[in-house]
Chains A and B, each alone.
Chain A
Amino acid sequence: GQQVMQIPQYQHVQEGEDFTTYCNSSTTLSNIQWYKQRPGGHPVFLIQLVKSGEVKKQKRLTFQFGEAKKNSSLHITATQTTDVGTYFCAGPNFGNEKLTFGTGTRLTIIP
């Protein structure tokens, strides 16, 4: 079945440093989505990428979809304490009915 892996599993950064998480799918995806889950909270949708090579920005967050549509990345510039949480990527399986979530990257900020 489809597998979606993320690296790293954990990341500790000093406040102000940059952060990147990578997402890799075993199959080609029609789209990739990113979610953020704050500690003790629920996943919240951030963005969806659809086109090969697509890049989208949300303030300090930059999302990229790979040319082969099998990988994606999320980059945060100059991290802040509000960025703390676990970031998940997710991709639909064949038929687009279900999402397979990545394993997540847990970001911790050191003040």
Chain B
Amino acid sequence: DAGITQSPRYKITETGRQVTLMCHQTWSHSYMFWYRQDLGHGLRLIYYSAAADITDKGEVSDGYVVSRSKTENFPLTLESATRSQTSVYFCASGLLTDTQYFGPGTRLTVL
């Protein structure tokens, strides 16, 4: 029972490169979310999805793109990485929005 997984767990990239962070859940949860966590800012919502092919922006969506062609996958793409996007990224899923189950996180460093 894998639950929710993220890959890679660690990533170092350079400014201007495209980066894709993967998220996969085995529970068939309808909702999936991407958050970033930075010191002093807590958890901030980047994008979320209520179902396959339905996505919506969160509070810090600029510079990010998501897709959800299958219920179980919710990849997050940084189109042209910037240093300000250095962060820990968490994916989460849930049946409804009242309980969220988080993945282990991806630590991204943009040089």
Interface class of chain B by DSSP = strand
Binds B, one of A63-71, A75-83, A97-105: A97-105
Interface positions of A from 89 to 107, Cβ below 8 Å from B: 90, 92, 96-104
- The reply to whether A104 and B42 contact each other, CB–CB distance below 8 Å, is yes
- Give the residues in chain A near B97, CB-CB below 8 Å: 92, 96-99
- The reply to whether B42 and A98 contact each other, CB–CB distance below 8 Å, is no
- Give the residues in chain B near A31, CB-CB below 8 Å: 98
Taking a contact as CB atoms closer than 8 A, the residue among B58, B90, B104 that contacts A98 in the complex is B58
12 A-B pairs within 8 Å (CB atoms) are namely A33-B98, A45-B101, A96-B96, A96-B97, A98-B33, A98-B45, A98-B97, A99-B100, A101-B42, A101-B43, A102-B42, A104-B42
